């Protein structure tokens, strides 16, 4: 179905199953170890061999020679493939990352060889016998130093996002503004640090290949691997039923999928391969660090008159910029605006998507700037944001937000958090030796519409089976799809089986850009409508009036058990959701407010987050339990961004030193306080028939700035360079 006009009342609105806090239907399998992950497909393949990837030890240059002779003689070794044995594999779409093939090295830990052996240990041991000679050039890896070589750049997303994004006369308005701010902020490189590393099991049957891999978007993996291998898409099956987190790292194929496939072809054995954890930070993608300059001009009563935001960032040649100015375009009103980005070339892991790409690092800076401006104005920071709310796109005022309740997020958050107890003067709240600070920030993230398909079958026994290549990356997709099918077909959720992550199923939106839940459930909604019609037709009921409730189909004075429709054979509904032009007329976005209370040891600078609260406006909440988990996970990630996470580059060699979970600090339970989440319930009929929006990323947006602002409130020290480690307070 094409969704082209705002949704009217529909069966989802009954909310008998959708909107209920159903526990994860895949939960028992996950906690009992019976949900098979990509590296664990003992059930699917017999007699697998094991691979180990060798990464380059230079960041820029060429491989001259790779010696695999000793490795080939090592016990159990079946094959040793090197990058010099192949031409360069063409990068997939949305990435320029060089996975394998050819002599050119573009970033540290680029895969240069693969060893395949009878056992994991044999492959690993043999890999250490491989030696390589390089011709290396000095790597460009210092963003500040490369600034002078940076070029103006747009976001990758096309006409809506021009290189020059100027409205009014920023310079004049900024010069004339009675209150101004002009500051520089930096955000560091981040790595996704998902629990399950990239991993693939690959097996060929003749010229057909199956991979079990850890993918957020199955169809993207299928398309890019098929293109890299030069095989027809129809000859490649990708399965990803369970995924241990992604955060954007697994949107696109990585070296494990390509090399497992090559290794399996050469050895004629199924091959299991992970992109080893220590190779991920340099050999995968990163959230690219930024240097941002923000200039704000305001009237004395706190109306923004001028917004200037420039972000510098660096990436491999041909790769795109981290769109840190993206939220600034739509967050606050102001008649004069100058937003721009520049991009330098860096020989580091490719900057690419990580949870709330653009918005997360942009708001890390911008929402500190708003706090600073509030202080200069002597206006409460919550109030300053309320005064600058806009209900229209500042670039084209005829384009309204489909639903924007940022002001309510701010007001409800302030009320629930006890914001009135905050003292605005830094260092004025104490608890013994601890200085106490309260901070807040606003959050923003686009709601993206992506076509998504699904199939639903009414089985002869009355059960329903949903099939789509959609993934569940730990978010609760299985559960909300079961809820959607149950609501549409009028049965309890336990009558529904959900099968995901198989490229032989209808193509879905996949999990990314916080677009998974809304689009995938909408695709299933469309499929359910076709199944309802098929059921009505089979039962001889009027499809226009048939209602599906309580396990029955009801029309006029007839009430027939749903299962009866399948007695003569299973019935199938198969459709996809596509979208019309509603997003030309409406901006679709999600909003949030984030509040944090922090304690800072006045002698040591040790920081302890004590309380956090998020208030989120993201349309209809499909399942309050899984939605809350999404927000809590994102807030936890925000604590990492604020206080801990940074990839540290060794500028001599161009590699991230802390490239494992020992050296790259992320929060653990002991770091995380009580977190509260409030979802405002404003179904959005413009977003989809589900009236839902994305929730996977909005929970992160603004968190780090709220904590940074709390640190300032506690100490009077304004740290503008993330992460806020205690040395910056001493």
Across 91-221, the runs of DSSP E, i.e. the strands, are: 104-105, 111-117, 131-136, 151-152, 165-167, 179-187, 199-205, 208-213
Please check whether residue 45 is in contact with residue 89, taking contact to mean a CB–CB distance below 8 angstroms: no
Pairing outcome for strands 77-82 and 111-117: antiparallel
Q: How far apart are CA 271 and CA 240, in angstroms?
A: 16
> For 76, left (φ over 0), alpha (ψ -120 to 50), or beta?
left
Closest CA to 699 of 605, 593, 599: 593
529: helix, strand or coil: helix
C-beta of 192 vs 532, nearer to ligand MOS:
192
Instruction: Cite the DSSP H helix spans in 405-515.
Output: 406-417, 477-489
The two three-digit tokens of residue 665, written as one number? 């600090």
SS3 16: coil
Q: Which is nearer to ligand MOS, 351 or 605 (CB)?
A: 351
Phi, psi of 435 (to 5 degrees): -85, 135
- Shortest separation between residue 248's beta carbon and ligand MOS, angstroms: 3
Which H/E stretch holds residue 385?
A: helix 381-387
Burial of 338 (0-12, 13-18, 19+ CB in 10 A): buried
Residue 622 CB, nearest approach to ligand MOS (Å): 18
Structure tokens at 670: 């002991």
Residues that bind ligand MOS (CB under 6 A): 216, 246-248, 251, 353-355, 357, 512-513
Q: Which residues are catalytic?
A: 697
Nearer to ligand MOS, 22 or 323 (CB): 323
Nearer to ligand MOS, 192 or 337 (CB): 192
DSSP E strand boundaries for 121-198: 131-136, 151-152, 165-167, 179-187
60/355 with CB nearer ligand MOS: 355
Q: CB of residue 198 vs ligand MOS: minimum separation in angstroms?
A: 14
Residue nearest to ligand MOS (CB): 248
Place of tokens 């004395």: 300
Q: Which residue lies nearer to ligand MOS by CB, 95 or 210?
A: 95
| Minimum distance of ligand MOS from residue 503's CB (angstroms) | 19
Per DSSP bridges, beta strands 285-286 and 350-351 are parallel
Pairing of strands 49-55, 111-117: antiparallel
- As given in the structure block, the two tokens for residue 492 are 């309890």
61 or 361: whose CB is closer to ligand MOS? 361
Q: Least distance (Å) from ligand MOS to the CB of residue 448?
A: 9
In whole angstroms, how close is the CB of 460 to ligand MOS at the nearest point?
39
Task: Give which of 16, 20, 40, 15 is closest to 30, Cα–Cα.
Answer: 40
What's the rounded Cα separation, in Å, for the pair 724 and 729? 8
* Radius of gyration, alpha carbons of the chain: 26
Rounded to whole angstroms, what are the CA distances from 490 to 361, 476, 495, 540, 562?
Answer: 43, 21, 10, 18, 9
Query: Do residues 432 and 615 lie in contact, with contact meaning Cβ atoms separated by under 8 Å?
Result: no
- In the complex with ligand MOS, the residue whose CB is nearer, 384 or 704, is 704
Beta strands in 471-541 (DSSP E): 496-499
Under 8 Å between Cβ of 145 and 269 = no
Min dist CB 38 to ligand MOS, Å, is 17
Q: Hey, is 208 helix, strand or coil?
A: strand
If the CB atoms of residues 7 and 215 are measured against ligand MOS, the closer one turns out to be: 215
In the complex with ligand MOS, which residue's Cβ is closer, 354 or 379?
Answer: 354
Query: Three-state SS for 347?
Result: coil
- Counting DSSP H helices and E strands in the chain, the numbers are 17, 36
Least distance from C-beta 363 to ligand MOS, angstroms?
15
Q: Give min distance, CB of 247 to ligand MOS, in A.
A: 6
The least distance separating ligand MOS from the CB of residue 516, rounded to whole angstroms, comes to 9
Three state DSSP letters for 407-439? HHHHHHHHHHHCHHHCCCCCCCCEECCEEEEEE
Phi/psi region, residue 640 (left: phi>0; alpha: psi -120 to 50; beta: rest), is alpha
CB atoms within 10 A of CB 636: 21
Nearer to ligand MOS, 250 or 272 (CB): 250
CB of 358 to ligand MOS, least distance (A): 10
């Amino acid at each position: 179905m094409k969704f082209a006009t705002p949704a009217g009342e529909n069966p989802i609105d009954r909310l008998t199953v959708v909107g209920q806090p159903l526990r994860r239907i895949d939960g028992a399998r996950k906690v009992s170890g019976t949900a098979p992950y990509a590296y664990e497909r003992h059930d699917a393949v017999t007699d697998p061999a094991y691979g180990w990837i060798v990464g380059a030890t230079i960041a820029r240059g060429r491989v001259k020679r790779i010696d695999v002779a000793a490795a080939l003689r090592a016990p159990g070794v079946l094959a040793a493939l090197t990058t010099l044995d192949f031409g360069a594999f063409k990068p997939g779409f949305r990435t320029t990352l060089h996975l394998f093939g050819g002599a050119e090295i573009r970033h540290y830990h680029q895969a240069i060889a693969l060893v395949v052996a009878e056992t994991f240990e044999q492959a690993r041991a043999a890999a250490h016998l491989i030696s390589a000679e390089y011709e290396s050039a000095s790597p460009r890896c210092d963003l500040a130093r490369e600034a002078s070589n940076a070029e103006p750049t747009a976001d990758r997303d096309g006409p809506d996002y021009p290189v020059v994004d100027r409205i009014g006369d920023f310079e004049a308005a900024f010069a004339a503004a009675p209150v101004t701010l002009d500051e520089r902020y930096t955000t560091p490189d981040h790595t996704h640090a998902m629990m399950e590393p990239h991993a693939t099991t690959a097996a060929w049957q003749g010229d057909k290949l199956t991979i079990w891999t850890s993918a957020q978007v199955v169809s993207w993996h299928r398309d890019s691997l098929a293109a890299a291998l030069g095989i027809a898409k129809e000859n490649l099956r990708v399965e990803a039923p369970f995924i241990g987190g992604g955060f954007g790292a697994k949107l696109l194929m990585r070296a494990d999928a390509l090399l497992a496939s090559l290794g399996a072809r050469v050895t004629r054995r199924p091959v299991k391969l992970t992109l080893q954890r220590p190779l991920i930070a340099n050999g995968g993608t990163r959230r690219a660090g930024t240097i941002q300059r923000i200039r704000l001009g305001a009237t004395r009563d706190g109306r923004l008159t001028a917004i200037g935001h420039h972000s510098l960032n660096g990436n491999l040649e041909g790769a795109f910029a981290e769109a840190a100015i993206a939220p600034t375009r739509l967050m606050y009103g102001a008649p004069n605006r100058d937003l721009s980005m520049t991009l330098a070339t860096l020989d580091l892991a490719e900057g690419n998507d990580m949870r709330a790409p653009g918005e997360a690092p942009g708001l890390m800076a911008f929402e500190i700037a708003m706090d600073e401006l509030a202080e200069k104005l002597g206006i409460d920071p919550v109030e300053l944001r309320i005064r600058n709310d806009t209900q229209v796109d500042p670039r084209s005022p005829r384009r309204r937000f489909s639903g924007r309740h940022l002001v309510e997020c701010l007001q409800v958050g302030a009320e629930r958090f006890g914001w009135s107890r905050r003292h605005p003067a830094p260092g004025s709240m104490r608890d013994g030796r601890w200085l106490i600070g309260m901070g807040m920030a606003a959050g923003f993230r686009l709601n993206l519409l992506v076509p998504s398909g699904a199939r639903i079958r009414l089985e002869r026994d009355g059960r329903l089976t949903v099939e789509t290549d959609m993934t569940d990356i730990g978010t609760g997709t299985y559960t909300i799809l079961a809820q959607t099918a149950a609501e549409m077909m009028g049965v309890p959720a336990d009558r529904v089986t959900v099968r995901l992550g198989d490229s032989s199923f209808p193509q879905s939106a996949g999990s990314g850009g916080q677009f998974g839940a809304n689009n995938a459930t909408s695709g299933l909604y469309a499929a359910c409508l076709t199944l309802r019609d098929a059921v009505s037709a089979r039962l001889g009921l009027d499809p226009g009036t048939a209602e599906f409730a309580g396990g029955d189909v009801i029309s006029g004075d007839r009430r027939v058990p749903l299962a009866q429709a399948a007695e003569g054979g299973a019935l199938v509904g198969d459709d996809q959701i596509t979208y019309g032009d509603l997003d030309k007329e409406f901006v679709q976005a999600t909003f949030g407010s984030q509040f944090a209370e922090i304690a800072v040891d006045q002698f040591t600078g040790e920081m302890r987050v004590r309380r956090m609260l998020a208030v989120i406006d993201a349309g209809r909440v499909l399942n309050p339990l899984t939605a809350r988990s999404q927000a809590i996970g994102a807030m936890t990630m925000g604590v990492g961004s604020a206080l801990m996470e940074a990839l540290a580059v060794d500028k001599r060699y161009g590699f991230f030193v802390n490239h494992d979970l020992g050296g790259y600090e992320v929060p653990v339970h002991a770091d995380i306080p009580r977190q509260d989440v409030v979802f405002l319930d404003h179904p959005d009929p413009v977003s989809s028939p589900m009236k839902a929006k994305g929730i996977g990323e909005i929970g992160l947006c603004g968190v780090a700035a709220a904590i940074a602002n709390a640190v300032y409130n506690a100490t009077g020290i304004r740290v503008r360079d993330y992460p806020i480690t205690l040395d910056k307070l001493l």
